[in-house]
Amino acid sequence: MYYLLLCFVSCACAQSIFYESYTGNVLNNEEVKEHLKKNTAFWCVNEVLPCNPYEGRRLDGTCNNLKYPNRGAPHTPQYRLLPAEYDKDFEPKTAKSGEPLPLSRSVRTNLLAEGRVPDSRFTQLLTYFWAHVLRDVLSAHDTLKYVIWKPYCCQEKGETDKECIPNIIPDDDPVHRFSSVRCMNLTRPESFQSVGCLKNDTVPERIVTSTPIFDLSQMYGTSLKIANEKARLFEKGMLKFEVENGKLWPPSTKTPVNVCLSNQKPYEKRCHDTPDEGVNSVIGLNLFVTWTWRLHNRIATTLSELNPCWDDDRLFFTTRDIVIAITMQIYFYEMSPALMGFDNLVREGVISPHKEFRDIYDENIVPQVSLEFPAVQRWAHTIQEGKLMMYDANGNYLKEHRIVNMTLRTGYLVDNLEYITQGAFRQPAAKADYIIDPDVVQTGLGANQLSADIATSDLTKNRYFGFAPYIKYRKLCSGKTYSTFEDLIDVIDPERIELLKEKYKNVEDIDLMAGIWAEKLVKGGSVPVTLYCVVVEQMLRTVVSDRHWYERPNRPNAFSLEQLLEIRKASVAQFMCAVGDTVTEIQPHAFFLPGKGNKMCSCKDIQKINLSPWKDLSCNGKQNKKYEI
Ligand SMILES: *[C@@H]1O[C@H](CO)[C@@H](O)[C@H](O)[C@H]1NC(C)=O
Ligand SMILES: *[C@@H]1O[C@H](CO)[C@@H](O)[C@H](O)[C@H]1NC(C)=O
Ligand SMILES: *[C@@H]1O[C@H](CO)[C@@H](O)[C@H](O)[C@H]1NC(C)=O
């Protein structure tokens, strides 16, 4: 926010071009001044240094698309798969009958029973990695808004604040009929309107602070300035780090008041002070950022040994490129096939069946994330296990803790990281079975709220995003028209159609999230059919629209084929062996539980990535050892 101002006022960066973040139109000096005066420049203006087609991936995502330079930057709009549908004043639409839609909470309790059933295939590690990759294109402000900034939504003050949209709990609620909780805090998602970029009489459009590109925003931040201040060590391309308990950690905050609200004082102190302090939130994200932080430094130091003549800048940017590529290789070629089916994804063109380069870039498609993409994946809360089980390195069970109590509690990791790490690939995720863990829907935010039902909020937000009815998404995905509840039989079992009928009067009333909760899983995969459809659309768009996509041979500083073939060897098991505490043995497919065909083996037997293809001959360095990670 400040750098933009500085830059403009001092004219130090006179060559910068300013774009309106929403429209992508160039702004003249008067218009920029107007935003500075109104204090809206941070959200509504993107400052872009002139694009150079040979430059690599920028931290702030600008110039990814050379025709539309601000697209790819933070605070640019998400696109909608289907046009928004709201009632008047952009309030949630009513049911077909004109009545309000059923309470979100009552839809949730009707469709998703509370209980615990472990899965027989997937590990916790999968849910952790899922949270990590999604966070790359999101921001934390929609949670902070009702927990910290506007904590009064269930009080009298909330009634007069339009931003408050608390969930009402009915008197006959299966859980809260025994408590006095009749309201759960919630606020409207931040939008271009709420931050002052668009007039309030226009269709609300969500605004997020990450880049809409998979570039590890949660690690490196969203501008060169932030990365330089908060992340880079300026030595051998490494990230700043601290050593505590003999382990390497991201830097931590020195101030006593910090976002780690759940640290048990005075003993638990650690709180990550990285470009995105939101990494201290859910544990899966916190773990993967900590591990990936280490991976970055391992790769950077290995490259600096391999190429002693490279300077810090070159080491940093090359390492970042490799770390992003490894993360995407695991996301596209390991996690997504596990969830959605390898053959399905090859058929859709999301992944390539070959190891060589692939290039389906289209400069006419700008880098963007659909509004529906993160929203439908909140289904993953139904396979989130509420218990966090901890093991020693030999697989002996030690203890357990509630996972919701780990949110905003980085301090707990200091003494327990190795046991949590071991548990990550030994403990099952929860089964995809229309049952949700009680903690996720009763105390979803741990001690930060008396009671929070994450799934109910997921549904409510659909309505405030103005999502079209579920059956319109069905039509988008299958081409089929659905006009009665019975038509849904191809995607929803009869007993769950019955449950939907109990809450919705008309098939057109069904909310997107509710439909997805009730759906059957896709053939050959383990996710609901509409989630599958929305995610496939996004993954394809990502490969098509990201000019710096790692599989492309025609991008600035592209990998050589030899280098790409090393990236292809990445696996989450190899990742855990490289950076996980005390991980000396693991199953080769670590998103799946160990067992027949996936037996635990020594890390020595897990395929490694060899960095030798990154050797720069002009450095005249010796090559006398293996540069494996
Ligand atoms: C729209 O309303 C919000 C409050 O809900 C306010 O903060 C914001 O400044 C308004 N936007 C404009 C452009 O007036
Ligand atoms: C977890 O947090 C809850 C508050 O939501 C608290 O009552 C409970 O004692 C905590 N449990 C543990 C094991 O720390
Ligand atoms: C809503 O927030 C207020 C203020 O933080 C808190 O006192 C109240 O317990 C919260 N409600 C629930 C149901 O957690």
Binding-site residues, ligand 3, Cβ < 6 A: 151, 154, 181, 184-185, 449-451
Alpha-carbon distance of 283 to 523, in angstroms, equals 31
Q: Give the CA distances from residue 380 to residues 115, 508, 516, in Å, rounded to whole numbers and listed in that order.
A: 15, 24, 11
b/e for 146-172, b at 16 or more Cβ within 10 A?
A: bbeebbbbbeeebeeeebbbbbebeee
- In contact, 295 and 418? CB cutoff 8 Å: no
Task: Looking at the CA of 402, name the nearest ligand.
Answer: 2
Backbone angles phi, psi at 263, to 5 degrees: -55, 135
Largest CA distance in the chain: 77
Angle between helices 454-464 and 104-111 (to 10 degrees): 130
Q: Quote the ligand 3 centre to 450 CA distance (angstroms).
A: 6
Record the tokens describing residue 209, joined without a space.
């602070």
- In contact, 264 and 412? CB cutoff 8 Å: yes
List for the chain the helix, strand, coil content (%; round to 5): 40, 10, 45
Alpha-carbon distance of 424 to 372, in angstroms, equals 28
Which residues make Cβ contacts (< 8 Å) with residue 181, sequence separation at least 6? 169, 450, 451
Q: What is the pLDDT at residue 129?
A: 98
Alpha-carbon distance of 504 to 342, in angstroms, equals 36
Kindly tell me the sign of the dihedral angle through the C-alpha atoms of 260, 72, 333, 603: negative
For residue 97, count other CB atoms closer than 10 A to its CB.
9
Alpha-carbon distance of 545 to 559, in angstroms, equals 18
Which residues make Cβ contacts (< 8 Å) with residue 465, sequence separation at least 6? 84, 189, 204, 206, 371, 375
Alpha-carbon distance of 509 to 522, in angstroms, equals 23
Mutation choice for ligand 1 from 20, 150, 193, CB with most ligand atoms inside 8 A: 193
Q: Quote the ligand 2 centre to 444 CA distance (angstroms).
A: 11
Alpha-carbon distance of 96 to 504, in angstroms, equals 10
Q: Is 381 annotated as a binding residue?
A: yes
Q: Quote the ligand 3 centre to 151 CA distance (angstroms).
A: 7
Q: Quote the ligand 2 centre to 388 CA distance (angstroms).
A: 13
Which residues make Cβ contacts (< 8 Å) with residue 479, sequence separation at least 6? none
Backbone angles phi, psi at 509, to 5 degrees: -80, -20
Q: Quote the ligand 3 centre to 161 CA distance (angstroms).
A: 16
Nearest to 443 by CA among 411, 407, 416: 407
Nearest to 419 by CA among 388, 384, 387: 388
Given the CA of residue 163, which atom of ligand 1 is nearest to it? 5
Instruction: Give the three-state DSSP class for 105.
Output: helix
- In contact, 104 and 456? CB cutoff 8 Å: yes
- In contact, 63 and 54? CB cutoff 8 Å: no
Backbone angles phi, psi at 546, to 5 degrees: -90, 105
Amino acid present at 210:
S
Backbone angles phi, psi at 362, to 5 degrees: -135, 110
Q: What is the CA radius of gyration of the chain?
A: 24
Instruction: Give the three-state DSSP class for 528.
Output: strand
Q: What is the pLDDT at residue 256?
A: 66
Average pLDDT per 10 consecutive residues for the chain, totaling 629 residues:
46 78 97 96 97 97 98 97 97 97 98 97 98 94 88 96 97 96 97 96 96 97 96 98 95 82 91 93 96 98 95 98 98 98 98 98 98 98 96 97 94 97 98 97 91 97 98 98 97 98 98 98 98 98 98 97 98 98 97 97 97 92 77
Given the CA of residue 154, which atom of ligand 3 is nearest to it? 1
Q: State the first-to-last Cα distance of the chain, in angstroms, to the nearest integer.
A: 38
Q: What is the pLDDT at residue 211?
A: 97
- Specify the pTM: 0.96
Binding-site residues, ligand 1, Cβ < 6 A: 162-163, 193-194, 196, 199-200
Q: What is the pLDDT at residue 140?
A: 83
Record the tokens describing residue 4, joined without a space.
């933009």
Mutation choice for ligand 2 from 390, 400, 405, 416, CB with most ligand atoms inside 8 A: 405
- In contact, 453 and 173? CB cutoff 8 Å: no
- In contact, 441 and 455? CB cutoff 8 Å: yes
Kindly tell me the sign of the dihedral angle through the C-alpha atoms of 109, 110, 112, 114: positive
- In contact, 44 and 195? CB cutoff 8 Å: yes
For residue 230, count other CB atoms closer than 10 A to its CB.
18
Instruction: Give the three-state DSSP class for 217.
Output: helix
Q: What is the pLDDT at residue 1?
A: 36
Mutation choice for ligand 1 from 35, 192, 194, 197, CB with most ligand atoms inside 8 A: 194
H/E segment holding residue 159: helix 156-159
Q: Using DSSP bridges, classify how beta strands 435-436 and 113-114 pair: parallel, antiparallel or unpaired.
A: parallel
DSSP letter, residue 589: S
In this structure, the dihedral spanned by the alpha carbons of residues 424, 426, 432 and 437, taken in order and rounded to 10 degrees, is -60
Q: What is the pLDDT at residue 107?
A: 98
Point out which residues pair with 60 in neighbouring strands: none
Q: What is the pLDDT at residue 122?
A: 98
Nearest to 305 by CA among 237, 246, 215, 208: 237
Q: What is the pLDDT at residue 7?
A: 53
Query: Is the CB of residue 405 below 6 angstroms from any atom belonging to ligand 2?
Result: yes
Task: Looking at the CA of 407, name the nearest ligand.
Answer: 2
Given the CA of residue 199, which atom of ligand 1 is nearest to it? 13
Q: What is the pLDDT at residue 257?
A: 66
Q: Where are the alpha helices (DSSP H) in 233-386?
A: 283-306, 312-330, 336-340, 342-348, 372-376
Task: Looking at the CA of 150, name the nearest ligand.
Answer: 3
Nearest to 39 by CA among 11, 88, 1, 68: 1
Q: What is the pLDDT at residue 418?
A: 97
Record the tokens describing residue 167, joined without a space.
């969930």
DSSP letter, residue 243: E
Q: Using DSSP bridges, classify how beta strands 17-20 and 45-48 pair: parallel, antiparallel or unpaired.
A: antiparallel
Angle between helices 494-503 and 104-111 (to 10 degrees): 160
Task: Looking at the CA of 149, name the nearest ligand.
Answer: 3
| C-alpha 445: how far from chain center | 17
